[in-house]
Amino acid sequence: MSDRPARRLGRVLLTGARGFLGTAVRARLARAGIDVVAADMGDAPSGDGVVPFDLMRPAEIAALFAGPPFDTVLHCGAVSGPMVLADRPADIWRINAQGTADLLEAARRSGAGRVVVCSSVEIYGTRRRGILDEDAPPDPPGVYGASKLAAEAAVLGYANGQRLDALALRLGWIYGPGRRTPTMLDALLRAVEDGRAFEVPAHPADATHYLFVEDAVSGLLAAASAPAPTARVFNIAAPEGQTMDGVVDAVRRLRPDSRIAFAAADPSTDGPDGYSTRRARDELGFRAATSLSDGMARTMQAPGSAPVPPGS
């Protein structure tokens, strides 16, 4: 981490402000008293203060940048996972890949400061084992991962060729209070809350990569405020060595009467064992701070479980 003072965020544009991650980022920035223009796709509920725009319409993206230049742009707006719009792959590409390129161009034209783009560890795919760092060859397993990789390529192109201060973050599997996108973890926690038995479609030794939402926010803001990172792409992921058995143990400690079994007789041979965050630690000062036990407790004990819709 540089000894130089942290970079000032200044005036911030936050896209995807109603999504799972964007909602948490907006709340953190509000607590810090930072000036934020919040934007998201879709019609805005009355009075929520979010500017509507469409990542498939370049003119609407450009309109976000029509005022004074933003000092920082946090681009959380995207299709948020391979399970979202799975039957509309062309739209996934338009939103995640082309939409990000159009946003980078609007940022360049307006004279914006640093742009931080949310990518995903999905770009690595499932055919490599071990602990993967940012130099591991990408192998996206579908259009979602490929669209995130294309967004990263746009970041590198604008950073190297257009001198735009842009970074991309490969985020792990984000969880926590407020997530509604259907996932195995969501199904497990809902079954436990309802007193139903649940069979985990995995082996206890299978690797997991769950990143608590507040750690994801910290990673995003660390990237935005790092004074002089030399790299452009960073893993923002959970600590190495997490297993599915650890997830289930954390749940059982909270709900000893839960009825959870594992479906797989043998460990999976697919996917990495974890993602190295050394680069993010050294250059951004990021380290995930929330244990599985604490993250699961905060998720299950959150009042109401009324998560925001899955993400734009």
CA of 144: how far to CAs of 51, 87, 186, in Å?
25, 11, 20
Give the neighbor-by-neighbor strand order of the sheet with 72-75: 50-52, 36-40, 12-15, 72-75, 114-120, 166-171, 233-236
Reply yes or no on whether the pLDDT at 310 is more than 60: no
Kindly list the distances between the CA atom of residue 211 and the CA atoms of 15, 88, 91, 194, 240, in Å, as whole numbers in the listed order: 21, 27, 27, 24, 11
Q: What is the pLDDT of residues 71-89, one digit of tens each?
A: 999 999 999 888 888 889 9
DSSP state, residue 8: P
Q: How confident is the model at residue 4 (pLDDT cuts 50, 70, 90)?
A: confident
pLDDT digits (tens, 9 = 90+) for 184-220: 998 999 899 899 999 999 999 999 999 999 999 999 9
Long-range contacts formed by 83-86: CB under 8 A, 24+ apart? 83/181, 83/182, 83/183, 84/144, 84/181, 84/310, 84/311
pTM of the model: 0.92
Which domains are present in the chain?
12-174+212-238+273-289 (3.40.50.720)
> What single DSSP character describes residue 165?
-
